């Protein structure tokens, strides 16, 4: 059994390059939106996983492929639940929970952002 301490202020330079968010199944609307990550538990294809995930500035749309609890550790973004039209601003320390199948519009306001997430398929 282990305890993993989640770090504040994690930057994209500390993560591995994962291509773009389009490579991960999203539709890019503005910018290139490069994706970065580092697993802290499991693997991306496991039914339960956790990781740092971040992107460069831009706007993209995705339908969530899993249930997720996430906390922003660096940067600022706006998430819009496209099923309800409700938008929320998230900054370092803010968290959300989203259910599988929710269509979400992402707008990365800062030059980049990083979150830590816990996902269950």
Going by the DSSP 8-state scheme, the letter that residue 7 receives in this structure is P
CB within 8 Å of 111: residues ≥ 6 apart: 56, 57, 75
What's the whole-model pTM score? 0.94
Q: Distance between terminal CA atoms of the chain?
A: 22
What is the rounded CA–CA span in Å between residue 98 and residue 96?
Answer: 7
For every one of its 121 residues, what pLDDT tens digit does the chain have, with 9 covering 90 and above? 689 889 999 999 999 999 999 999 999 999 999 999 999 999 988 999 999 999 999 999 999 999 999 999 999 999 999 999 999 999 999 999 999 999 999 999 999 999 999 999 9
Q: CATH homologous superfamily for 14-120?
A: Jelly Rolls (2.60.120.10)
d(CA 87, CA 40): 29
Q: Look at residue 44 in the predicted model and tell me its pLDDT.
A: 85
Alpha-carbon distance of 18 to 3, in angstroms, equals: 25
Q: Is 77 helix (H, G, I), strand (E, B) or coil?
A: strand
pLDDT for res 45: 86
Q: Structural domain boundaries of the chain?
A: 14-120
């Amino acid at each position: 059994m282990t305890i993993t301490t989640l770090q504040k202020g994690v930057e994209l330079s500390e993560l591995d390059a994962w291509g773009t968010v389009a490579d991960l199944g999203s539709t890019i609307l503005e910018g290139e939106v490069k994706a970065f990550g580092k697993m802290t538990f499991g693997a991306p294809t496991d039914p339960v996983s956790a990781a740092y995930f971040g992107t460069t500035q831009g706007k993209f749309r995705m339908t969530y492929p899993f249930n997720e609890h996430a906390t922003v550790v660096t940067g600022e973004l706006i998430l819009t639940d496209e099923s309800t039209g409700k938008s929320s601003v998230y900054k370092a320390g803010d968290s959300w929970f989203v259910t599988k199948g929710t269509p979400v519009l992402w707008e990365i306001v800062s030059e980049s952002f990083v979150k830590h997430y816990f996902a269950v398929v």
